[in-house]
């Protein structure tokens, strides 16, 4: 059997191995996940996507711009991030390797969100870093999904084009959409 002295000698080892006890936490509200859940839910809404490109002649591209924006909400925290990006690539196309930083109030290092959008696949990829209130663990997670956006493209062509005039303009505008990413 163990003597009282040998048990007392083991106390520091047991204390180091045991999880630290903090202030008691209130129980989570029914239906809401507790922060630190292994399956956070992200909501991107409203997703606004549009682009335009103009040709100044049948073979010369003129102004072009693609824009995307949305509010990012993470069910683990009580703040949101405002996300937006723009592209001046040909025809306002976004490539998945372009990363855009989102604006978060008080954007400390542990409160960061960024995203990319790929026009060809229609996929939005999000990276987010957060810390639970009163915690000391920083979570960094990635997720992606394809929103179901209803878009309309309109094309204008100048039938009487002459040098120095606009030849055509193409505009694409999507109805605001939403994407829920359940990790």
Domain range enclosing 107: 40-182
Tell me if 122 is assigned to some domain.
Answer: yes
Higher-pLDDT residue of 119, 7: 119
Tell me if 143 is assigned to some domain.
Answer: yes
Tell me if 79 is assigned to some domain.
Answer: yes
CATH code for position 115: 2.40.350.20
Average the pLDDT over 138-163 and give the result. Answer: 95
Is the Cβ–Cβ distance between 142 and 130 less than 8 Å? no
Tell me if 28 is assigned to some domain.
Answer: no
Domains of the chain: total: 1
Average the pLDDT over 144-148 and give the result. Answer: 97
Tell me if 30 is assigned to some domain.
Answer: no
Tell me if 33 is assigned to some domain.
Answer: no
Is the Cβ–Cβ distance between 144 and 112 less than 8 Å? no
Tell me if 58 is assigned to some domain.
Answer: yes
Tell me if 27 is assigned to some domain.
Answer: no
* Separation of alpha carbons 170 and 93, rounded Å: 13
CA atoms within 13 A on the CB side of 145: 17
User: What is the percent of the chain where pLDDT is above 90?
Assistant: 63
- The predicted-structure confidence for 93-141, as pLDDT tens digits, reads as follows 999 999 999 999 876 777 899 999 999 999 999 999 998 877 788 899 9
- The predicted-structure confidence for 48-83, as pLDDT tens digits, reads as follows 999 999 999 998 888 999 999 999 999 988 889 999
């Amino acid at each position: 059997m163990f003597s009282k002295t040998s048990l007392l000698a083991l106390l520091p080892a047991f204390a180091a191995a045991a999880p630290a006890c903090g202030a008691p936490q209130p129980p989570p509200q029914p239906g809401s996940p507790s922060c630190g859940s292994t399956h956070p839910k992200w909501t991107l809404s409203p997703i606004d996507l549009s682009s335009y490109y103009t040709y100044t002649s049948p073979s010369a591209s003129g102004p072009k711009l693609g824009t995307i924006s949305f509010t990012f909400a993470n069910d683990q925290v009580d703040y949101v991030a405002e996300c937006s990006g723009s592209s001046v690539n040909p025809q306002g196309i976004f490539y998945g390797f372009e990363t855009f930083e989102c604006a978060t109030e008080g954007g400390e290092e542990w409160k960061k969100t960024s995203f990319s959008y790929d026009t060809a696949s229609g996929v939005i990829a999000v990276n987010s870093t957060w810390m639970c209130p009163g915690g000391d663990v920083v979570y960094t997670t990635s997720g992606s999904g394809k929103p179901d956006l209803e878009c309309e493209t309109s094309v204008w062509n100048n039938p009487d084009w002459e040098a120095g005039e606009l030849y055509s303009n193409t505009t694409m505008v999507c109805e605001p959409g939403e994407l829920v990413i359940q990790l």
